[in-house]
Amino acid sequence: MPSVFTWTVRVYYEDTDAGGIVYYANYLKFFERARTEWLRALGIDQQALRDQAGAIFVVSNASIDYVASARLDDEVKVTLKVEKLGRASVQFAQQAWRGDTLLSSADVKVACVDAVTMRPRTLPDLAAAKMRAA
């Protein structure tokens, strides 16, 4: 698994605002989907993690910068890099690109919590090992 994971998304009409550009909040959706695809590429099934280990991931902090606009039908490459893997959280650096143009960048912290109590908990061992290996 490369140190930078890349996932591609196509901009659909539903992603745009009245001005024909990607609505700002949709970059958060693109980043979320890339993190989900990264987990899937690592062999981490989030539903199984919930069912078997009682753990889920939640965003605990996000800071995002908007640099340029994507438009309808653009192909956007979304990247992620793990900046820090903690006992109960993962800090990601994420970017969205159209070709060589940076569209948006974000620092996103994801916490692992108990699926029932929603209280922080350590990452399940198997998931943490797969993340470390990546």
Q: Please state, in angstroms and rounded to a whole number, the distance separating the CA atoms of residues 71 and 74.
A: 6
HSE value, Cβ hemisphere, 13 Å, CA-based, for 97? 13
CA quadruple 4, 10, 15, 21: dihedral sign: positive
Residue indicated by tokens 């640099």? 67
Catalytic residues: 17
